[in-house]
């Protein structure tokens, strides 16, 4: 399986990696919360961590384990832990690994809810410095004695800034920092996180993995790059077996078992069904996004387009190195005399909805919605204008999307 292509590995993963009973090609969805042991000695061994076994649905299940195996394989990592949502994966990972008095360097361009969570984390005594991660020099300048990790996203929302991924990976390796990358915007088909030195990848499975908007989920994958003997907070009880798995063991115990945001088996099933077509969907999505970005870029009623695929994007050239394609998120500013709410109401195919990574094309006014709480001043520093529209491009036929924009522009 190792030398096979992405989708070949993905669609045969259940059969070949998980080997479900009876020759089933899909891992069956097991809803049972409890697991019986015929010999109590086996139950004791499981509790003491001497034998791997499912004991209680909050900590593990066959359905979650199967999905974790596939995700580990997709990322070419050493292990994965799934959660009920992307935010659960992020918050549980941070709370499991860091303590009051630690310092983290975090991207200034962050998914709004991650930013909100980190504000809470700050209130708990963790020091956070927000920097512009498009230049490694800013990260380097922020490193202090108590710095423990760096957290950023590959392509940021909604202005599509691309982080200086490999240079920051190099810096983290030199300084022994845990390098955490939220890869939601560029899942493993588009981006090889291990190649830039990521320690952990965090992703919302709700978005491009599932793709269909019928299930929530999140995951943290360990790439095997970070040396966990350097992280003093790994509890002695979790410093067992393979050192590569120490970090994930702690995240599984503290972040999943003790905090409890477990991925439901039905959701694990819905996500793995969606995942099988991830590469096909992303090919079409990225193609559509490129076509729409070029169309909008040339339109007289559009002032500015943000998309890494456009040659005038500030990180266009490094994006070509990092990503197979430029992703499915773009944003644009309408000319000042075109009202963005009126324009969005004229679109017929494009849905006015928050969410991203769906098969359907979605759009929303940014300043008035997902960044409303941030206030005008913070929006300005983030490069968000009052006339900005964020789009998550879907897999519709390209001509139909362009035609929808044409008719909407004609009416405003």
Ligand X SMILES: *Cc1c(COP(=O)(O)O)cnc(C)c1O
> What is the total count of residues that contact ligand X (CB under 6 A)?
15
SS3 257: helix
Contact region for ligand X (CB under 6 A) — 193-201, 202-210, 309-317, 369-377?
202-210
Partners of 180 in beta bridges: 151, 200
Q: Which of 14, 182, 222, 276 binds ligand X (CB under 6 A)?
A: 182
CB of 299 to ligand X, least distance (A): 27
Partners of 365 in beta bridges: 389
| Tokens encoding 217 | 């989920």
Q: What character string, x for contact with ligand X (CB under 6 A) and - otherwise, covers 123-162? A: ------------------------------x---------
Residue nearest to ligand X (CB): 86
Contact region for ligand X (CB under 6 A) — 46-54, 60-68, 200-208, 303-311?
200-208
* Window 343 to 372, contacts with ligand X (CB under 6 A): 356
The verdict on 85 binding ligand X (CB under 6 A) reads yes
Q: Between residues 204 and 361, which has the closer beta carbon with respect to ligand X?
A: 204
Q: Which of 94, 98, 109, 111 binds ligand X (CB under 6 A)?
A: 111
First to last CA, the chain: 53
CB of 202 to ligand X, least distance (A): 7
Q: What character string, x for contact with ligand X (CB under 6 A) and - otherwise, covers 373-402? A: ------------------------------
Q: Between residues 79 and 187, which has the closer beta carbon with respect to ligand X?
A: 187
Q: Between residues 30 and 91, which has the closer beta carbon with respect to ligand X?
A: 91
CB of 408 to ligand X, least distance (A): 25
Greatest Cα pair distance, the chain, in angstroms, is 75
SS3 236: helix
**Residues 6 or more apart in contact with residue 179 via CB below 8 angstroms:** 149, 150, 168, 169, 172, 173, 197, 198, 199, 200, 225, 226
The verdict on 262 binding ligand X (CB under 6 A) reads no
Q: Between residues 121 and 238, which has the closer beta carbon with respect to ligand X?
A: 121
| Tokens encoding 146 | 């108590």
d(CA 219, CA 193): 14
**Bridging pattern class, strands 351-352 and 103-107:** unpaired
CB of 330 to ligand X, least distance (A): 14
DSSP per residue, 177-215: -EEEEE-TTS-TTTB-GGGGT-SEEEEEIIIIIT-SSS-
Q: Between residues 175 and 359, which has the closer beta carbon with respect to ligand X?
A: 359
Q: Between residues 158 and 246, which has the closer beta carbon with respect to ligand X?
A: 158
**Residues 6 or more apart in contact with residue 92 via CB below 8 angstroms:** 83, 220, 251, 254, 255, 256, 259, 261
Q: Which of 107, 184, 249, 306 binds ligand X (CB under 6 A)?
A: 184
Contact, 310 vs 317, CB < 8 A?
no
The verdict on 187 binding ligand X (CB under 6 A) reads no
SS3 279: helix
Q: Which of 10, 87, 215, 256 binds ligand X (CB under 6 A)?
A: 87
* Window 215 to 254, contacts with ligand X (CB under 6 A): 216, 218
The verdict on 77 binding ligand X (CB under 6 A) reads no
Contact, 349 vs 400, CB < 8 A?
yes
Q: Which helix (H) or strand (E) holds 390?
A: strand 388-392
CB of 112 to ligand X, least distance (A): 9
176 CB neighbour count, 10 Å cutoff:
12
CB of 50 to ligand X, least distance (A): 34
Contact, 201 vs 59, CB < 8 A?
no
Query: How far does Cα 181 stand from its chain's mean position?
Result: 8
CB of 83 to ligand X, least distance (A): 9
Q: Between residues 209 and 238, which has the closer beta carbon with respect to ligand X?
A: 209
Interface with ligand X by CB under 6 A: which residues? Answer: 85-87, 111, 114, 153, 182, 184-185, 204, 206-207, 216, 218, 356
């Amino acid at each position: 399986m190792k030398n096979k292509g992405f989708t070949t590995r993905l669609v045969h993963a259940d059969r070949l990696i998980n080997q479900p009973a009876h020759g089933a090609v899909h891992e069956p969805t097991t809803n049972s919360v409890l697991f019986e042991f015929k010999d109590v000695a086996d139950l004791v061994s499981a509790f003491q961590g001497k034998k791997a076994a499912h004991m209680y649905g909050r900590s593990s299940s066959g359905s979650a384990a199967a999905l974790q195996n596939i995700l580990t394989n997709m990322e070419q990592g050493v292990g994965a832990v799934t959660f009920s949502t992307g935010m659960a994966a992020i918050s549980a990972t941070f709370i499991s690994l860091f303590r009051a008095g630690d310092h983290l360097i975090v991207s200034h361009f962050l998914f709004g809810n991650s930013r909100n969570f980190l504000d809470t984390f700050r209130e708990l005594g963790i020091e956070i410095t927000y920097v512009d991660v498009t230049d490694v020099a800013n990260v380097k300048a922020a490193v202090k004695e108590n710095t423990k990790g760096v957290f950023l996203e590959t392509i940021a929302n909604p202005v599509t800034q691309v982080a200086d991924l490999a240079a920051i990976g190099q810096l983290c390796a030199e300084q022994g920092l845990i390098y955490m990358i939220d890869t939601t915007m560029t899942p493993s088909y588009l981006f090889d996180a291990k190649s830039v030195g990521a320690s952990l990848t965090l992703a919302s499975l709700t978005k491009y993995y599932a793709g269909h908007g019928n299930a929530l989920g999140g995951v943290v994958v360990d790439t095997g790059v970070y040396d966990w003997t350097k992280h003093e907070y790994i509890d002695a009880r979790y410093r067992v077996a393979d050192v590569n798995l120490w970090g994930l063991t702690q995240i599984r115990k503290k972040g999943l078992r003790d905090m409890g945001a477990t991925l439901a088996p039905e959701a694990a099933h819905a996500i793995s069904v969606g995942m099988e077509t991830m590469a096909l969907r992303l090919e079409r999505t990225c193609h559509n996004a490129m076509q729409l970005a070029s169309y909008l870029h040339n339109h007289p009623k559009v002032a500015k387009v943000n998309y890494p695929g456009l040659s005038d994007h500030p990180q266009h050239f490094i994006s070509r190195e990092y990503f197979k394609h430029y992703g499915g998120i773009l944003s644009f500013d309408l000319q000042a005399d075109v009202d963005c709410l009126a324009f969005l109401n004229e679109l017929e195919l494009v849905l006015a909805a928050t969410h991203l990574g769906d098969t359907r094309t979605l759009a929303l006014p940014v300043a008035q919605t997902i960044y409303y709480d941030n206030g005008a001043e913070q929006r300005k520093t983030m490069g968000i204008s009052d006339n900005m529209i964020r789009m998550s491009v879907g897999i519709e036929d390209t001509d139909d999307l362009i035609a929808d924009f044409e008719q909407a522009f004609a009416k405003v």
